């Protein structure tokens, strides 16, 4: 049995959906769980709906939603020529829930509004894929993941309630398999005990797949992507990338932790805990092998320099006002503030009376943190920076990525170097 995850790019239009069906057909007879995320850039588009809704621009929110609807309907029309296909009414109903919410106006809880609306993308994508699979004789059962993946009500970052999730996933999935079908459901979403929708964090569908793989003790999990596997850098940012055929969980979690976008960072732990291999393969060239992430690297593996580039970084420098040392007391105070504002530090360093942290520059989220820090410290900001991380660095790789750049901060261990550059 296998868990497959198809991301937004793999279902971005009618041709892409047909291709996904073709791939699934190649595994007919196997016990499959197929996790699908929202089509193309739908989640970004829905975020704009949320923002308009939250700012009480109801008409604008409805117009933005109508554009999303047109886009989905035109994909369905291309896939399913029968105008009486039940999927049309199903999609109308799914849209209506959000349309009604927009009409009602927003509560003051942004995260709550976000999750109730943004979740639409995954619901639509899976309803469309399920309907299409039926027309090409792939027997699938659509499941509402919000009844299977239980979370607390930390909106936009739902924390999985493992006890109930571990009970409900196997029951539902085994029933589907017994009926000879494949199980098809949404990534990224969860449900609270009160029946509200949560999301697991942007790009969280990989994590959903890993949760299913863990709980079902799957033989493997495959993420189908538009790249041939895990590369040593993002090909959009770095030239001459190479594919890494085998990675260990440890190497993979380090890469994702530093910001490599190949898979969601939370994906590795549930797989590692049960020793489930992760395959990253191309949906464009499904016959090629891709990358496998497993417990150990084969003996004598020499990994290439792995480069992770994060742009739009902010360097926050915090100074004590009274020349007191930046020792445990001040540091724990500062870290507590970061934690309380849920701001992740990408790199930190401290000196006698100062502390520096490189963080993602997300103005909406960091303003409150900066204000809180300013109550007790003097705070300086440097914007527009890039964080470069190189694992297994070589002199050549260092030279290539720092040439002509000003290095504001750097940190080096035996295997990894990180530099904040302008």
7: CB partners within 8 A, 6+ apart: 37, 205, 206, 223, 224, 225
Torsion angle of C-alpha atoms 119, 122, 127, 133, degrees rounded to 10: -170
Of 69 and 401, nearer to ligand ASP (C-beta) is 69
Question: Among residue numbers 204 through 223, which ones bind ligand ASP (CB under 6 A)?
Answer: 204-205
Of 8 and 270, nearer to Mg ion (C-beta) is 8
- Closest-by-Cβ residue to ligand ASP is 205
- Among residues 113, 203, 251, 254, the one that binds ligand ASP under rule CB under 6 A: 203
- Of how many residues is the chain composed? 422
- Among residues 10, 37, 151, 267, the one that binds Mg ion under rule CB under 5 A: 37
Site pattern 98..137 for ligand ASP (x: CB under 6 A) = -----------------------x----------------
- Among residues 181, 202, 243, 341, the one that binds ligand ASP under rule CB under 6 A: 202
Query: What minimum distance in Å lies between the beta carbon of 184 and Mg ion?
Result: 17
Cα–Cα distance, 399 to 20 (Å, whole number): 41
Backbone angles phi, psi at 61, to 5 degrees: -60, -45
Cα–Cα distance, 17 to 129 (Å, whole number): 7
289: CB partners within 8 A, 6+ apart: 229, 245, 281
Of 6 and 338, nearer to Mg ion (C-beta) is 6
Q: Which one of Mg ion, ligand ASP, none is in contact with 202 (Cβ closer than 5 to 8 A by kind)?
A: ligand ASP
Question: Among residue numbers 353 through 372, which ones bind Mg ion (CB under 5 A)?
Answer: none
Question: Among residue numbers 162 through 191, which ones bind ligand ASP (CB under 6 A)?
Answer: 187-188
Query: What minimum distance in Å lies between the beta carbon of 39 and Mg ion?
Result: 9
Site pattern 33..62 for ligand ASP (x: CB under 6 A) = ----xx----x-------------------
Site pattern 245..264 for ligand ASP (x: CB under 6 A) = --------------------
Q: Which two tokens stand for residue 65?
A: 């939603």
User: CB 238: neighbour CB atoms within 10 A?
Assistant: 16
> Which residue in 303, 306, 224 sits closest to 259, CA to CA?
306
Query: Interface with ligand ASP includes 7 (CB under 6 A)?
Result: yes
Backbone angles phi, psi at 216, to 5 degrees: -85, 0
Query: What minimum distance in Å lies between the beta carbon of 337 and ligand ASP?
Result: 27
- Among residues 3, 4, 6, 8, the one that binds ligand ASP under rule CB under 6 A: 8
* Binding residue count for ligand ASP, defined by CB under 6 A: 12
Query: What minimum distance in Å lies between the beta carbon of 42 and ligand ASP?
Result: 7
Query: Interface with Mg ion includes 191 (CB under 5 A)?
Result: no
- Closest-by-Cβ residue to Mg ion is 8
Residues 267 and 210: beta-carbon distance below 8 Å: yes
- Among residues 2, 6, 8, 101, the one that binds Mg ion under rule CB under 5 A: 8
Q: Which one of ligand ASP, Mg ion, none is in contact with 121 (Cβ closer than 5 to 8 A by kind)?
A: ligand ASP
Query: What minimum distance in Å lies between the beta carbon of 127 and ligand ASP?
Result: 15
With the C-alpha atoms ordered 167, 170, 173, 174, is the resulting torsion angle positive or negative? negative
Of 19 and 205, nearer to ligand ASP (C-beta) is 205
Stretch that binds Mg ion, among 35-43, 82-90, 132-140, 370-378 (CB under 5 A): 35-43
Of 83 and 364, nearer to ligand ASP (C-beta) is 364
Query: Interface with Mg ion includes 126 (CB under 5 A)?
Result: no
Tokens 């005990």 — which residue? 193
Q: Which residues of this protein are in contact with ligand ASP, per CB under 6 A?
A: 7-8, 37-38, 43, 121, 187-188, 202-205
Q: Which residues of this protein are in contact with Mg ion, per CB under 5 A?
A: 8, 37
């Amino acid at each position: 049995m296998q868990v497959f995850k198809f991301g937004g790019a793999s279902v971005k239009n009618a041709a892409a959906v047909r291709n996904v069906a073709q791939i699934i057909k190649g595994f007919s007879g196997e016990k499959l769980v197929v996790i699908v995320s929202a089509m193309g850039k739908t989640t970004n588009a829905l975020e704009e709906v949320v923002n308009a809704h939250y700012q009480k621009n109801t008409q604008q929110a409805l117009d933005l939603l109508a554009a999303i609807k047109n886009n989905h309907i035109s994909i369905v029309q291309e896939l399913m020529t029968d105008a009486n296909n039940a999927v049309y009414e199903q999609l109308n109903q799914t849209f209506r829930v959000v349309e009604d919410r927009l009409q009602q106006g927003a509560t003051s809880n942004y995260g709550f509004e976000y999750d109730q609306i943004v979740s639409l993308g995954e619901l639509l994508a899976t309803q469309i894929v399920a309907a299409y699979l039926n027309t090409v004789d792939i027997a699938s059962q659509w499941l509402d993941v919000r009844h299977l993946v239980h979370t607390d009500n930390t909106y936009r970052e739902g924390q999985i309630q493992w006890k109930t999730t571990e009970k409900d996933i196997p029951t539902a999935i085994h029933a589907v398999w017994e009926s000879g079908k494949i199980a098809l459901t949404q990534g990224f979403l969860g449900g609270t005990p009160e029946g509200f929708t949560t999301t697991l964090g942007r790009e969280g569908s990989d994590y959903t797949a890993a949760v299913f793989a863990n709980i079902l003790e799957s033989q493997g999990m495959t993420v189908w992507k538009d790249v041939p596997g895990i590369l040593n850098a993002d090909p959009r940012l770095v030239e001459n990338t190479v594919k890494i055929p085998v990675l260990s969980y440890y190497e993979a979690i380090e890469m994702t932790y530093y910001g490599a976008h190949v898979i969601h960072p939370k994906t590795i732990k549930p797989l590692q805990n049960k020793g489930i291999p992760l395959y990253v393969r191309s949906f464009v060239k499904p016959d090629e092998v891709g990358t496998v992430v497993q417990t150990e690297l084969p003996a004598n593996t020499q990994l290439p320099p792995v480069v992770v580039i994060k742009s739009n970084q902010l360097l926050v420098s915090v100074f004590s006002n009274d020349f007191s040392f930046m020792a445990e007391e001040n540091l724990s105070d500062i870290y507590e503030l970061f934690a309380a504002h849920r701001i992740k530090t990408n790199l930190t360093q401290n000196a006698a009376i100062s502390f520096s942290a490189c963080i993602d520059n997300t103005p909406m989220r960091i303003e409150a943190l900066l204000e809180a820090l300013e109550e007790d410290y003097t705070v300086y900001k440097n914007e527009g920076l890039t964080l470069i991380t190189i694992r297994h660095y070589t002199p050549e790789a260092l030279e290539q990525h720092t040439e002509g750049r000003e290095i504001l901060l750097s940190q080096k261990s035996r295997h990894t170097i990180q530099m904040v550059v302008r």
